[in-house]
């Protein structure tokens, strides 16, 4: 695969050794170059870059976004605010802050059509190519998370990569199945 990257070096595309097995379709190169050119008006080939995939990272409890999340929840508790409209903002900010370094954007309440009906997940993560990478659905502290997840499944919410978050518990679905369930009250 090195030979594919060798030809691109002449136009300023840097090799991505962490993904050498990934074949890049020609249209993707032109699409990304065109978008980069449109976004900043830069026509120099040395500035063209092709973002491939978000790099996996481990976020530790001391990370600024994690600390801010717990501080915000504490502020809400101190003010006796427990409704979803408020508590969801803490997790929304956490998702947005941790997605941004990967080139992903969190879009709140974006309409999604499923089997002819409109649904509105609390958040949709999109990448550079405008592809949906995941969804987030928030519930408040008094909701029964199991019941709420069942309701969303009945409404055909996507379960390919979806986080259901109820301030105290987070549940991750991937590939239509529950993969992780975590206590969110303890930052460790």
pLDDT tens series, the chain, 188 aa: 444 444 444 444 444 444 444 444 433 333 343 344 334 444 444 444 444 455 667 788 888 999 999 999 999 999 998 888 888 999 999 999 999 988 999 999 999 999 899 999 999 999 989 999 999 999 877 889 999 999 999 999 999 999 999 888 999 999 999 999 998 887 77
* pLDDT recorded at residue 56: 66
Report the run of H or E that residue 89 belongs to, with start and end: helix 84-99
Looking at residue 86, what is its pLDDT? Answer: 86
Are 26 and 103 in a shared domain? Answer: no
Same-domain status, 39 and 98: no
> Is 55 inside a domain boundary?
no
Query: Residues 90, 162: one domain?
Result: yes
CA 36 – CA 122 distance, rounded (Å): 29
21 C-beta neighbours (distance < 10 Å), count: 5
Q: State pTM to two decimals.
A: 0.68
Q: In terms of domains, do 163 and 70 share one?
A: yes
Domain interval for residue 20: 2-47
Is the same domain home to 134 and 69? yes
Please check whether residue 21 lies inside any domain of the structure: yes
Dist CA 187 CA 62 (whole Å): 9
Quote the pLDDT of residue 142.
80
Task: Give the HSE-up count for residue 129: Cα atoms under 13 Å, Cβ half-sphere.
Answer: 16
The answer to whether residue 58 sits within a structural domain is no
Measured between alpha carbons, how far apart are the two ends of the chain, in Å? 41
Residues 122 and 174 in one domain: yes
The answer as to whether 118 is a domain residue is yes
Same domain, yes or no, for 162 and 72? yes
* 106 and 14 belong to one structural domain: no
Structural domain total, the chain:
2
Tell me, yes or no, whether 10 and 89 share the same domain: no
Residues 120, 90, single domain; the answer is yes
- Report how far residue 128's alpha carbon sits from residue 141's, in angstroms, rounded to the nearest whole number: 33
Give the long-range contacts of residues 176-185, CB within 8 A, separation 24 or more. none
CATH classification of the domain holding 148:
3.90.1570
Residue 162's DSSP bridge partners are: 135, 173
Q: Distances from the Cα of 102 to the Cαs of 54, 114, 135, in angstroms?
A: 5, 27, 16
Q: Does residue 146 share a domain with residue 73?
A: yes
Is 53 among the domain residues? no
14 & 97 share domain: no
């Amino acid at each position: 695969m090195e030979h594919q990257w060798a030809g691109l070096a002449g136009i300023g595309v840097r090799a991505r050794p962490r993904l050498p097995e990934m074949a890049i379709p020609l249209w993707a190169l032109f699409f990304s170059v065109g978008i980069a050119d449109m976004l900043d008006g830069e026509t120099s080939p040395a500035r063209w870059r092709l973002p491939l995939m978000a790099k996996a990272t481990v976020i530790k409890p001391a990370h600024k976004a994690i600390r801010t999340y717990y501080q915000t929840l504490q502020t809400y508790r101190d003010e006796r605010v427990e409704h979803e409209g408020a508590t969801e903002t803490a997790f929304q900010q956490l998702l947005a802050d941790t997605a941004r370094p990967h080139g992903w954007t969190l879009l709140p309440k974006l309409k999604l059509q499923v089997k002819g009906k409109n649904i509105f997940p609390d958040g949709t993560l999109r990448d550079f190519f405008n592809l949906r990478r995941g969804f987030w659905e928030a519930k408040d502290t008094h909701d029964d998370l199991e019941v709420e997840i069942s309701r969303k499944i009945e409404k055909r919410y996507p379960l390919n990569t979806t986080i259901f978050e109820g301030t105290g518990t987070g549940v991750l679905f991937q590939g239509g199945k529950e993969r992780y369930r975590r206590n969110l009250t303890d930052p460790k």
